[in-house]
């Protein structure tokens, strides 16, 4: 494909500049468009973000009688927080709280 300005033209930004001038050969339109998109996005940069509620098990809690299912069992203590991560690395944590959860019906109370 000849762009009419530079015979050696492949996919080149200089070719786009030359093809934009009046009098350029119509055949170089596709090449000029590709060169324009390359000029608009010189490097592709991406980020991987994560957001969610995380839970950490802290072991056994107190022996309680559940207000919902009325069973008396040993509850489980957990820590819960909201977390924001970049490239799977935790960056921010907020709304931290400790809970105790009924092992039968999963009712939670603040510990
Ligand atoms: Zn329960």
| In a shared domain, residues 9 and 37 | yes
| In a shared domain, residues 71 and 21 | no
Stretch 96-111: mean pLDDT:
95
Q: Ligand 1 mean position to 81 CA, how many Å?
A: 22
| In a shared domain, residues 29 and 62 | no
| In a shared domain, residues 2 and 30 | yes
| In a shared domain, residues 79 and 37 | no
| In a shared domain, residues 60 and 105 | yes
Tens of pLDDT, residue by residue over 39-89, are 667 788 999 999 999 999 999 999 999 999 999 999 999 999 999 999 999
The pairing of beta strand 108-110 with beta strand 49-65 = unpaired
| In a shared domain, residues 57 and 104 | yes
Q: Ligand 1 mean position to 98 CA, how many Å?
A: 17
Stretch 105-110: mean pLDDT:
95
Q: What pLDDT does 35 receive?
A: 54
Number of domains in the chain: 2
Q: Report CA torsion sign: 60, 65, 66, 69.
A: positive
Q: What pLDDT does 111 receive?
A: 86
Mean per-residue pLDDT of the chain: 78
∠ Cα 57 62 65 (to 5°): 115
| In a shared domain, residues 76 and 103 | yes
Q: What pLDDT does 95 receive?
A: 96
Confidence (pTM)? 0.54
Classify 3 as helix, strand or coil: coil
Q: Ligand 1 mean position to 80 CA, how many Å?
A: 19
Q: Which of 108, 76, 81 shows the shortest CA–CA distance to 93?
A: 81
Structural domain harbouring 10: 1-45
Contact (Cβ atoms closer than 8 angstroms) between residue 18 and residue 5? yes
| In a shared domain, residues 41 and 62 | no
């Amino acid at each position: 494909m000849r762009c009419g300005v530079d015979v050696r033209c492949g996919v080149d930004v200089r070719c786009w500049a030359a093809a934009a001038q009046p009098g350029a050969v119509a055949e170089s339109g596709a090449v000029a468009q590709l060169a324009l998109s390359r000029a608009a996005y010189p490097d592709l940069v991406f980020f991987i973000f994560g957001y969610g509620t995380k839970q950490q098990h802290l072991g056994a809690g107190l022996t309680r009688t559940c207000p919902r299912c009325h069973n008396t069992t040993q509850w489980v203590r957990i820590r819960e927080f909201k977390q924001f991560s970049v490239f799977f690395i935790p960056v921010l944590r907020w709304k931290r709280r400790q809970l105790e959860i009924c092992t039968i019906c999963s009712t939670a109370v603040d510990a």
